[in-house]
Amino acid sequence: MPEMKETVIENGTELEGSIHSECPVTLSGKLEGQVSAPMLTVTASGSARGEIKVSKLVAHGEISGEIEADEVQLGGRVSDQTVIRARTLEVALSRPQGGFQVTFGTCELHVGDPDKRRTGQHEEETESMSAVRAQREREPRT
């Protein structure tokens, strides 16, 4: 079996600049700049700020800047002035002090096929998502 390669930036490491990698990147430290890789994982202690272009982003730490990815899984903090463009977006709730929480700063989320967004086909999807959200708000909380 071939060895799986990975680029790791450990906790306690701060990096400014660009990373272009052909293998997945795991970030436990702090990065300010540009990232281009097939996958970026930002651990709970990690922080990524800048321009991120990856196929998959898994973020349990803090992210900010301009993010483009096919698939995004958020479980940490999205800072102010952040733009996320993704085909799919999954938000995992964290459980601080007994409650569930997702933290978003002032940001923009663009989810779905960019071609549909340009032609206006996303309006039906947005309306159905609003209907689902309204239904959930009416449901009793346990």
DSSP per residue, 20-48: E-SS-EEESSEEEEEEEEEEEEE-TT-EE
Q: Are 85 and 65 in contact (CB under 8 A)?
A: no
Q: Is a pLDDT exceeding 70 seen at residue 108?
A: yes
pLDDT number for residue 90: 87
Handedness of CA 72, 74, 79, 80 (dihedral sign): positive
What CA–CA distance (Å, rounded) separates 90 from 76? 12
Tens digit of each residue's pLDDT (9 = 90 or more) over 10-54: 999 999 999 999 999 999 999 999 999 999 999 999 999 999 999
Q: Are 57 and 43 in contact (CB under 8 A)?
A: no
